Amino acid sequence: MLRGVILCVFFLMLTQNVYSKGIGAQFSGFATLGATYSDSDELKLRTDLLNNAHSGLTLKNDSNIGLQVNLDIATKWDAVGQLVLQDRIKKSAGDYLELAFIRYRPNRYWSLRAGRVNSDLYYLSEYQYVGYAYLWSQPPNEFYSPATSAANFDGFDIEYKNNVGDGFFKIRMGYGATHPELGGIAGQFAFSLENFSALSASYQIGNWLLRATHSQANLENLKSPFISTSVLIFSQVPSSLWPASLDVLEDIDISGKSTAYDALGLSYDGNIWLFHSEIGVSKNDWLALSSSITAYTTLGYIQDELTYFVSLSGIKNRHKLVTYDSPMLDPNLPVELREYVNSVSDGLTSLLNGRAARQATISLGVKYDFRQNMALKFQVDHSNISPRGSALWKVTNSSIQTSRHKVNTFSLSLSMLF
């Protein structure tokens, strides 16, 4: 789809004969060298559902490097490409490409973009990997780790902006598709967010920024060896042995399922105090993704080059945790058949125990802006993970899913622009 959109736009440009000026290119970049230490061997830290998980001391969780090119193509036309190298689960070139769009600005109020564009669904969604540009060493995991799967999409968007009252108003509507490959329950799995549509609006007045977003998509094209195998097995289990298997088959089939996400954010960016708060509500009707409500609040205090901050964040399931009746097997059945059906049931239990994120985190940290283009950040997170609520972590042993866990994470990062 991305190629098709870009070809269409280039064709449009050619027909309009817009190459009146030479193409000018500007290169820029950003990088973060981030060390994290997480003190749980059973729950591996995953700061981004698109990335691999690591516990202990590692540079892999938070380090990245981004390269960007801005092209001035012609009057009213420009293009942006951005590549961010990080520890992605899927390592194809397309998975490192954050932005690749062409933009047309017919006048100062309107702009249209086509290609791979950012979704603008939450406060950091457009620059989550630019550590220099925000306060945290690790943005609140409860809010930002799940959200990255729709941080960009292939398609187009249209934006309108203008001064309204004493403030500045911006609204953007986008449509397209994205194909995230996530780590989480059932190992790695990929799916498509088709007919992805996003609407975001923001109003900035003085140091205050208020933003609201809505997005929705159809879920399709599941690629998960674990879930596919499970579906195959469920379909072979006679419903007379396990009546609930019919419900499971219906709920675990991704076709016809959809997802929706709404978020509201408020931030204050003053010279002494900082405040950021967002709340997000997701609605999913596919078994593997839990509907959740997530929120965080961060308060920062600036003293010369240092900014101290404290943050509270949490995520919980919106609905009662899903359970299915276990198979009631006749003891006279062959042992092999009983073991087979029970192993399928155990696999499903593990899936259900790991699908929801239910946890809260308190964070303390400091950001040191020691140079014009560099910042050093340190942060300590204490996370309290409820039973059957470890979806944001990579669980090394499914037997621990039903117990409560407390994990401390220490992050030290150096962020820079170049």
Partner 1 sequence: MKFILLCLILTSLYSIHTHAIVVVVSKDSNINSLTKRQVVDIYMGRFNTFPNGENVSPIDLPPQSTLKNQFYMQLLQKSEKKVNSYWARLLFSGSAKPPTIVKSVDDIISRIIENNEMMAYIPESEVRQGVKVVFKFVQN
Query: Which residues lie near partner 1 (CB under 8 A)?
Result: 26, 28, 30, 66, 68, 70, 75, 80, 82, 99, 101, 103, 105, 107-108, 117-118, 126-127, 129-130, 132-134, 161, 163, 168, 269, 271, 305, 369, 372-373, 417
Distance (Å, rounded) from C-alpha 34 to C-alpha 47?
Answer: 12
Nearer to partner 1, 50 or 79 (CB): 79
Nearer to partner 1, 120 or 181 (CB): 120
Nearer to partner 1, 99 or 222 (CB): 99
Angstrom distance (rounded) from CA 175 to CA 156 = 6
CB of 66 to partner 1, least distance (A): 7
Q: Provide the β-strand partners of residue 188.
A: 183
- The span from the CA of 315 to the CA of 353, in Å, is 16
In the complex, least distance from residue 307 CB atom to partner 1, rounded to whole angstroms: 10
Nearer to partner 1, 116 or 257 (CB): 116
Shortest Å distance, C-beta 372 to partner 1: 4
Q: CB-based burial of residue 190 (10 Å sphere; 0-12 exposed, 13-18 middle, 19+ buried)? A: middle
Q: C-beta of 174: minimal distance to partner 1 in Å? A: 13
User: In terms of CB distance, is 105 or 214 closer to partner 1?
Assistant: 105
Cα separation, 301 vs 72, whole angstroms: 39
Q: Which is nearer to partner 1, 232 or 272 (CB)?
A: 272
Write down the least CB distance from residue 176 to partner 1, Å.
Answer: 15
Shortest distance (Å) from residue 67 CB to partner 1: 10
For 301, how many CA atoms within 13 A lie in the half-sphere containing its CB? 4
Say if CB 80 and CB 71 are below 8 A apart: yes
Tell me the closest approach of the beta carbon of residue 129 to partner 1, in angstroms: 8
CB of 160 to partner 1, least distance (A): 12
Measured between alpha carbons, how far is residue 103 from residues 27, 94, 222, 316 in Å?
A: 17, 20, 32, 38
Residue closer to partner 1, measured from CB, 48 or 181: 48
Instruction: List CB contacts of 371: < 8 A, sequence separation 6 or more.
Output: none
Judged by beta carbon, residue 127 or residue 208, the one nearer partner 1 is 127
Closest approach of partner 1 to the CB of residue 178, in Å: 16
- Closest to partner 1 by CB, 26 vs 402, is 26
Structure tokens at 228: 């596919």
Alpha-carbon distance of 55 to 390, in angstroms, equals: 14
Choose between 105 and 283: whose C-beta lies nearer to partner 1.
105
> Please, what is the minimum distance in Å from the beta carbon of residue 261 to partner 1?
19
Please tell me the distance from the alpha carbon of residue 7 to that of residue 355, in angstroms, as a whole number: 39
Comparison of 80 and 385: residue with beta carbon closer to partner 1: 80
The residue to which tokens 């991305």 are assigned:
2
Whole-number minimum distance, CB 207 to partner 1, in Å?
9
